[in-house]
Structure 1
Amino acid sequence: MAQAKNNNSCTRKNIMASSQSNSSTNSTPPCAACKLLRRKCIPGCIFAPYFPPDDPQKFANVHKIFGASNITKLLNDLLPYQREDAVNSLAYEAEARMKDPVYGCVGAISVLQKQVQRLQNELDAANTNLLRYACNIVDIPSSMDRLPLMGSTSSTGLGEGSVGGGDLYHHHHASGLPIPYTQAWGNNNRSNYHPPGDMDEMDGGERSM
């Protein structure tokens, strides 16, 4: 009787241990793909690393657009390090198709391309304005260098408004005006000029006087 009791206690312990081990193995929730497909998530499931149980909508969108069999075939054809990028791309395209059934991700790409073109036009306009501003800064010192040459008459000591012969040339040459022609004999000089014959007559008259 005592031996039978011992056997029964050992059997109960084994049953409890096996039930605890089964509960520990079943405590891991299945991935989102296996849960949606209602199948057992076995160790080494190809969906488990990319479709966690806490994000069921990700696989739901991908399954609705592409299908579970196509996703399985695609992942099996790829190398392990390429699968994560492929799943993320499929998830993005599926979500865009759910939001925009007509254009999908093409519509989002078109919007981004238009934004890039608009920003490029703004950048070109800013570079053009910057170049024009830089050219104006360069022209200002070159025009200032010509100012002392135009005002050189004031340093001759002839007074403001009076221009000598050399200064007159430089003044008109710097300003771009035609150089005026000045006669060597003015009206006052003509009145004081007498030919040699007239000088003799004047001398004779004075002598006769």
Structure 2
Amino acid sequence: MNVDVMFVTTCAACKHQRKKCEPNCQLAPYFPCTKDEDFLNVYRLFGVNNTIKHLNSVADDEKAKLVESLILEAKIRKENPVHGCLAVERKLRGEIEALEKELELVKNNISFCKKTSMLQMQKQQLEEELDRSSLALDSPFDAHSMTRF
């Protein structure tokens, strides 16, 4: 008996439901057998029927992004069951505000350094002008004072 045996792996959704994964399984492209944990998180939060309804509600080219969003939201909800995505948003908003304050301080520091540098350059120019003018003044007096003595 020469029969080619083809091993078909079931997707994570069918594996969880303990059923045979059909070739037209809607979840198989998005939840292969290697994504068991991702599917379980999505399943616990949304359920299989709602996940399929979500997939049917979007265009084919957007389905992968939808599943990616569902996986991310389910993972975040698992990590923070009380606040979920809101906790992440609050954390990121706090980080953004802290970084904006730091950026403002850096800008102020740069402005201060530029002003200090400009004032030092002006001081140096004034000192050079003062040295030149004092040399010009010193020369005639030295010649005159030498003739007096």
Q: TM-score, normalised by structure 1?
A: 0.61
What is the Cα deviation at residue 146 of structure 1? 3.0
Relative contact order higher in (CA < 8 Å, ≥ 6 apart): 2
CA distance in 2, matches of 1:141, 1:100: 57
Asked if 1:57 corresponds to 2:37, the answer is yes
Structure 1, 143-152 or 67-76: larger mean CA deviation = 143-152
Q: Which residue of 2 aligns with 1:79?
A: 59
The count of residues paired between Structure 1 and Structure 2 equals 140
Instruction: Select the residue among 77, 100, 103 that pairs with 2:83.
Output: 103
- Cα distance, 1:154 vs. partner? 2.3
Give the SS at the match of 1:143: helix
CA deviation map 1:114-171 (0-9, x unaligned) = 1121112111111111111111111223233333346353233258xx9xxxxxxxxx
Unaligned segments of structure 1, at least 5 residues: 1-15, 163-209
Residue 145 to residue 156, structure 1, CA distance change in 2 (3 Å): farther
Structure 1 or 2, whichever has the larger Rg, is: 1
* Aligned-partner Cα distance in 2 for 1:87–1:93: 10
Which of 40, 59, 77 aligns to 2:20? It is 40
Deviation per residue, 1:149-199 (Å, 9 max, x gap)? 46353233258xx9xxxxxxxxxxxxxxxxxxxxxxxxxxxxxxxxxxxxx
- CA deviations over 1:38-69 (Å, ceiling 9, x no partner): 22211121101110102211111101101110
Q: Provide the residue aligned with 1:157 in structure 2.
A: 141
C-alpha distance in 2 between matches for 1:107 and 1:65: 17
Question: What's the C-alpha RMSD, in Å, of the aligned pairs?
Answer: 2.0
CA distance in 1, matches of 2:89, 2:108: 29
- Is 1:66 the counterpart of 2:46? The answer is yes
Q: Which amino acid aligns with 1:47?
A: L
Cross-structure match for 1:122: 102
Give SS of 2:33's match: coil
Which blocks of at least 5 consecutive residues in structure 2 are unaligned? none
Moved more, 71-80 or 135-144: 135-144
SS of the residue corresponding to residue 145 of structure 1 reads: helix
Counterpart in the other structure of 1:113: 93
Which residue does 1:146 correspond to in 2? 126
Decide which moves more: 32-41 or 67-76. 32-41
Identity %: 31
2:108 is the alignment partner of 1:133: no
